[in-house]
Amino acid sequence: MKRYYPAVLFFLVVFATFSVQPLFAQFADRGVITGVVTDASGAAVPDARVTITDQSTGVKTIVGTNSAGNYSTPPLILGTYQVEVEKQGFKTYTHTGVALSGGQTVRADAKLDVGATTESVNVEASTAELVNSENATVQHTVGEVYYRDLPAVMGADIRLAEGSPNDLAHELVREKPPLVVAAGGDGTVSAVADAVRGTDTTLGVLPAGTLNHFAKDLGIPTELEAAVKVLATGRRVAIDIGEVNGNTFLNNSSLGLYPDMVRDRTRQQRRFRRSKWTAMFWALLATVRRSPLLSLRLCVDGEHHDYRAPFVFIGNNKYTMEGFDIGTRERLDCSQLSIYTTHRCTAAGLAGLALRALFGRLHQAEDFAALTGQSLRVESTRRRLLVATDGEVTAMETPLEFRIVPRALHVIVPQAQEEK
């Protein structure tokens, strides 16, 4: 099987994360800063705030350390950066002149000394609410320069709010604001959407994650200045959401290979203090080696299909599955789930599917199944299955009940963007 590892890894990235083209584009002209934060004794410092500042533009990216003291930035524009680490009870650590070249990962470790810290200031107002990304492993927030400009651009007061995205968004929605803005990646946006769905509040998106699939499918620019302008000048549209056992997803949900890989990646980060992308690489190898198979019954709108498959992918509306636009959606308002799976379980078989997908011939594969429906029931002999929803992995009780909820979420999209 080892000789097939490159092809299988390629397939997993293409299919499970739908990120081949975005990743190639990002890493060609971007780089990553990563490191570990420790105290004077060498012990890991979790939950430290790491601010990465582009020294030429002043734009800031803020991440946090995980339980092992590790941090990693999303892909950054090439340049020279300042790394500042803050943690209550410690002196602020500053490292300037961190040079970043294309496709490069630069380490910037930090050792904190005990001492005084600086105070933080909260800005409160009433019209719109901005929910920052907050994650136990890493958080991505937009630079403060954009926060400062938001009131002027939108003609409204902004309250910057920090905390768990889902819990905080539910608190904000109870105040019935006209707009809640989620600044972060797909996981953060999905968590906020779970609170906003079914209300009169509109969701705004500032893409500040790594891949930002949801924003891209809505036509929202990934450049933050342009995304802020969309909040002020865009229009309100209604889109569908997906749901599994009551949990919301905006992009997709999956079983098998991908959630297994994400779980292993988290273990790699905690146990070996590896960066996100290094841990993902080793997790991919481990997942392929195990070749996990699931014996499942899929009931699509009441019609039964039995599979023994390495993965099942469930999308909120139809995904492009062939060519170099793989993983994109033309519309998000067609009121259907898209379901993809296969009987193939060998490395060679998965590699063959990847090649067919890239060359536009996936529809010719006899054992690749593409189904659509408004509901999906997944039955298994296992009591619990690992389920990925917009990149977040949860163990859920079986059977799994998926459904599409038509036009349950209002979002702001660019004026020129056709309704999705």
**CA geometry: angle at 338 spanning 337 and 339, to 5°?**
115
> pLDDT, tens digit, for every residue of 232-272?
889 999 999 999 999 999 999 999 888 888 888 877 777 77
pTM: 0.64
Distances (CA, A) of 259 to 85, 98, 292, 351, 390: 31, 34, 11, 19, 11
CATH of region 249-406 = 2.60.200.40
DSSP state of 136: S
Please tell me which of 118-132, 231-245, 406-420 the model is most confident about, judged by mean pLDDT. Answer: 231-245
Q: What letter represents residue 336's amino acid?
A: Q
Share of the chain above pLDDT 90, in %: 36
Q: 231, 199, 221, 387: which is closest to 311 by C-alpha?
A: 387
Of residues 160 and 89, the one with the higher pLDDT is: 89
* 195 has a pLDDT exceeding 50: yes
Q: 134, 250, 239, 234: which is closest to 179 by C-alpha?
A: 234
All CATH 2.60.40.1120 domain ranges in the chain, comma separated = 20-112
- From 3.90.1200.10, 1.10.357.10, 3.40.50.10330, 3.30.420.40, which CATH number describes the 128-240 domain? 3.40.50.10330
All CATH 2.60.200.40 domain ranges in the chain, comma separated = 249-406
Of residues 116 and 100, the one with the higher pLDDT is: 100
* 162 has a pLDDT exceeding 50: yes
Query: What is the predicted pLDDT for the residue at 119?
Result: 30
Of residues 380 and 125, the one with the higher pLDDT is: 380
Whether residue 53 contacts residue 59, with contact meaning beta carbons closer than 8 Å, is answered with yes
All CATH 3.40.50.10330 domain ranges in the chain, comma separated = 128-240
CATH of region 20-112 = 2.60.40.1120
> pLDDT, tens digit, for every residue of 310-343?
889 999 999 886 665 677 899 999 999 999 888 7
* 136 has a pLDDT exceeding 90: no
Of residues 62 and 290, the one with the higher pLDDT is: 62
Distances (CA, A) of 63 to 46, 49, 107: 12, 6, 14
DSSP state of 391: T
pLDDT band of 356, cuts 50, 70, 90: low
Please tell me which of 36-50, 159-173, 274-288, 311-325 the model is most confident about, judged by mean pLDDT. Answer: 36-50
Please tell me which of 93-97, 218-222, 329-333, 404-408 the model is most confident about, judged by mean pLDDT. Answer: 404-408
> pLDDT, tens digit, for every residue of 77-91?
888 999 999 998 899
pLDDT band of 22, cuts 50, 70, 90: very low
Q: 311, 313, 271, 275: which is closest to 294 by C-alpha?
A: 311
